[in-house]
Structure 1
Amino acid sequence: MKYFFIAGEASGDLHASHLMRELKKEDPQAEFRYFGGDLMEAEGGTLLKHYREMAYMGFITVVRNLDKIKANFKLAEAELLAWKPDVLVLVDYPGFNLRMARFAKEHSIRTYYYISPKIWAWKTKRVKKVKKFIDEMFTIFPFETEFYAKYDYPVRYVGNPTVDELAVRPNQDETFDAFVSRNQLSGKPLIALLAGSRKQEINNILPVMTDAAARFPEYEFVLAGAPSQPEEFYRQVLKGKEIPIVFNQTYELLQQSKAALVASGTATLETAVLNIPQVVCYKMELGKIARWGRPFLLKIPYFSLVNLIVDREIVTELFQDHCTVDTVSTELKKILDNKSYREKMLAGYDEMRQRLGEPGCAARAAKQMVELLK
């Protein structure tokens, strides 16, 4: 069968490539054409547009690149009509993909969505488009089933790709001494710093994390560098602070750490799956104004995936003007020194992992997709 994929960012390229690999097992005659990236291209088929040419974020950037965005839509529409796939598989990236879903519906092309847009957090009105244009939704968080049920739209929970990726992560048997030696660290107990991947969030969060780190001289704080940012950028933000940086070793760093300071996002889930106690931080511009506006922007009680999955506070969330050197230090001290507090968090992690289920997310999705198409 013929599968047309659209993945508009790096994470979508990763998840779509895994799904393509599993589809080939279920459907040996599978053919692929796609908007995606290098990982998808490695699985075969035809890359029509790289996600690097689609990543336009922010109002001004979008306005400046409207002609390119329109050209991407026209290319996707023309290729869909010319190739006539058995199914269009959309991967997250809602601004582009929901419009393509409408186009596919208008031309009687079956459409599956793999990894739901986060419309449960904001822009919930988009659920109307999902119901109208998406034939099957394959979700990766258990709470999404309940969210869509409120709108009388059944979905298929297939598990979470983070669980899959961590199950096959490299260097799982590496010792603390080997990790320390390989990265020329001091040998003190480690605390991981995961400050996000975008420049603005790193600028906002990392100084708070490192100022808190100065209050714990008995530990060595190590920063997990994002592949998208050069070391020179981090050194500018650190302003002379002697914080070691490791790149492409986030899982290895977490595995050897006693605790972690984590910017809200998928990293909170990764940290919890690896059973590392954490403090969740989120800080953007506008301070108190952003915090006061949160109830109007976000439609969810928590912003960390750990708490959302279990539907109660497992990890403390420090948001906006509540994310200070004092609050981060206080919470970190609790998870390091208060045994019962730490164990309560780890017990919450156990519950979260049970709700997520076993590895095999992409395999389950591929099997169901092929069965539905047949």
Structure 2
Amino acid sequence: MASSADISLALVAGEVSGDMLASRLLAGLRPHLPQARFHGIGGPRMMEQGFVSEVPMDTLTIRGLFEVIPRYRELKGIQNRLRDRLLAERPAAFIGADYPGFNLGLEEQLRAAGIPTVHFISPQIWAWRGGRIKKIKRAVSHMLVIFPFEEKIYQDAGVPVTYIGHPLAEQIPLQPDQAAARRALGIPLDARVVTLMPGSRMAELKYLSEPFVGAARLLAQRDPSLRFVAPMAGERQRSYFNDLVAKAGLSDVPVQLVDGQSHTAIAAADAVLAASGTATLEVALFKKPMVIAYKVMRASWEIMRHMGYMPWIGLPNILAREFVVPEYLQHAATPANLAEALWRQLEDAAGRDRLKQRFTDMHHSLLRDSAAASADAVLRVIGSKT
């Protein structure tokens, strides 16, 4: 076997969630490949593991179907330049961390040239665009999946697959400490707290900031003692959020903005209003009641609403196979609807207890040593483990 100093692994993550997932994989790989070069496109968590990002990850972050069109040439140029570098370099493997629109196309070209490819995590072919399994079979040497039901899908399709559990299930304690979270945020222990999570992407903030803060205003009218917390992914997101709230005439709503600390903000909450995405799974793992909202550009919505296979879009509901928490999509995601749904959760102690048990069971089903399992699969792919 070659020395780890001779091994190069290329990775691409295009979003915050992919950065988190890939960082766990890198943490598992580094003890086995202490001198290997990890490079490509990634975020701060990956860089903490010694990863070298050759393009800022934010450059790739886009949401929605039509939003990509103005930037298609730019993104295609990045993809082509990266492909050419990797074809010249011949890394031991390429690993795409989620972001399938970019990564699967790149993986298909690299695999055709003889470079092993690993995709981490599965696109949601069980929710929509199931036809992508054909492209995945061409593009992916090995698929890493984070939900138990996904393993059989790939086994049936003849794609090598490993279920590694969900990294978030390891990071989030089975019994979160609400009191400690409130102390960290300076919130009274006896307060009732609603956490607003309108998203980390600029497009999410564009469409969800106003209805989320509008819902907070309506809730505050019902109970002026309610506390509202909103974690911001960075200064750029905070500034944009504040601008949107001001333009909507909602600057008077007392929302406490915190930099990062999304897990602390969730742990402190009695209920959470969350944009659809990985954040909803985080909320479930913290065993918190939640309301899920989703809004995109109208043209994107008109296409996407006809393409889904499931009645749910929120990960907790998909994993539970039923509506355990409410979802409000597009035009239904109004301040009034969101506020009313949150109020019902705040007032329903028995419902909160039932959700806590469902989410505890879900947590156990997702709990594995994901760093070790994903690293083991990659090491097998590159022939560094027999």
TM-score (norm 2): 0.83
Find 1:33's aligned residue among 26, 29, 39.
39
3-state SS of the aligned residue for 1:343? helix
What is aligned with 1:193? 196
Q: CA deviation at 1:294?
A: 6.0
Residue by residue over 1:17-57, the C-alpha shift from the partner in whole angstroms, topping out at 9 and shown as x without a partner, is 33122111123343323222343334335433232333455
**Counterpart-to-counterpart distance in 2, 1:211 and 1:343:** 27
Q: CA deviation at 1:91?
A: 1.0
Root-mean-square deviation (Å):
3.1
**Counterpart-to-counterpart distance in 2, 1:219 and 1:192:** 10
Q: Kindly tell me: are residues 223 and 53 of structure 1, through their superposed partners in 2, closer, same or farther at Cα, counting changes over 3 Å?
A: closer
Contact 1:91 1:116 in 2 (8 A): no
User: Is residue 300 of structure 1 aligned with residue 310 of structure 2?
Assistant: yes
3-state SS of the aligned residue for 2:54? strand
Q: Kindly tell me: are residues 213 and 146 of structure 1, through their superposed partners in 2, closer, same or farther at Cα, counting changes over 3 Å?
A: farther
Find 1:254's aligned residue among 260, 266, 270.
266
Residue by residue over 1:130-183, the C-alpha shift from the partner in whole angstroms, topping out at 9 and shown as x without a partner, is 1122110001122322443554545211011222332499x95863662353x6
User: Is residue 145 of structure 1 aligned with residue 155 of structure 2?
Assistant: no
What is aligned with 1:319? 329
Q: Kindly tell me: are residues 186 and 321 of structure 1, through their superposed partners in 2, closer, same or farther at Cα, counting changes over 3 Å?
A: same
Q: Kindly tell me: are residues 196 and 47 of structure 1, through their superposed partners in 2, closer, same or farther at Cα, counting changes over 3 Å?
A: closer
**Counterpart-to-counterpart distance in 1, 2:308 and 2:52:** 38
Find 1:361's aligned residue among 356, 370, 378.
370
Q: Kindly tell me: are residues 275 and 97 of structure 1, through their superposed partners in 2, closer, same or farther at Cα, counting changes over 3 Å?
A: same
**Counterpart-to-counterpart distance in 1, 2:97 and 2:277:** 18
Contact 1:212 1:328 in 2 (8 A): no
Q: CA deviation at 1:110?
A: 0.9
3-state SS of the aligned residue for 1:124? coil
What is aligned with 1:230? 238
Contact 2:215 2:336 in 1 (8 A): no
Q: Kindly tell me: are residues 94 and 191 of structure 1, through their superposed partners in 2, closer, same or farther at Cα, counting changes over 3 Å?
A: same
What is aligned with 1:22? 28
More displaced stretch, 310-319 vs 47-56: 47-56
What is aligned with 2:342? 332
- In the TM superposition, 1:1-374 aligns within 5 A as 1-44=7-50, 46-55=52-61, 62-149=68-155, 151-167=157-173, 175=180, 178-179=183-184, 181=186, 188-197=191-200, 198-203=204-209, 205-214=211-220, 215-227=222-234, 228-231=236-239, 232-233=242-243, 235-236=245-246, 237=248, 238-284=250-296, 286=298, 290=301, 296-358=306-368, 360-374=369-383
Q: CA deviation at 1:254?
A: 1.9
Residue by residue over 1:333-366, the C-alpha shift from the partner in whole angstroms, topping out at 9 and shown as x without a partner, is 33233333222222211221122124x2122100
Q: CA deviation at 1:283?
A: 3.9
Residue by residue over 1:238-265, the C-alpha shift from the partner in whole angstroms, topping out at 9 and shown as x without a partner, is 3422222222222212222222222222
**Aligned residue pairs: how many?**
368
**Counterpart-to-counterpart distance in 1, 2:92 and 2:359:** 40
**Counterpart-to-counterpart distance in 1, 2:323 and 2:66:** 36
What 5-or-longer segments of structure 2 have no aligned partner?
1-6
Residue by residue over 1:216-235, the C-alpha shift from the partner in whole angstroms, topping out at 9 and shown as x without a partner, is 32422222333241243354
Q: Kindly tell me: are residues 152 and 176 of structure 1, through their superposed partners in 2, closer, same or farther at Cα, counting changes over 3 Å?
A: closer
3-state SS of the aligned residue for 1:175? helix
Contact 1:2 1:85 in 2 (8 A): yes
Q: CA deviation at 1:120?
A: 2.7
Contact 1:114 1:138 in 2 (8 A): yes
**Counterpart-to-counterpart distance in 1, 2:64 and 2:349:** 43
Contact 1:56 1:65 in 2 (8 A): no
**Counterpart-to-counterpart distance in 2, 1:203 and 1:353:** 29
Contact 1:221 1:244 in 2 (8 A): yes
1:366 partner amino acid:
A
**Counterpart-to-counterpart distance in 2, 1:192 and 1:71:** 39
2:231 partner amino acid:
A
3-state SS of the aligned residue for 1:199? helix
TM-score (norm 1): 0.86
1:193 partner amino acid:
L
What 5-or-longer segments of structure 1 have no aligned partner?
none
Contact 2:174 2:286 in 1 (8 A): no
Q: Kindly tell me: are residues 82 and 272 of structure 1, through their superposed partners in 2, closer, same or farther at Cα, counting changes over 3 Å?
A: same
**Counterpart-to-counterpart distance in 2, 1:173 and 1:279:** 19
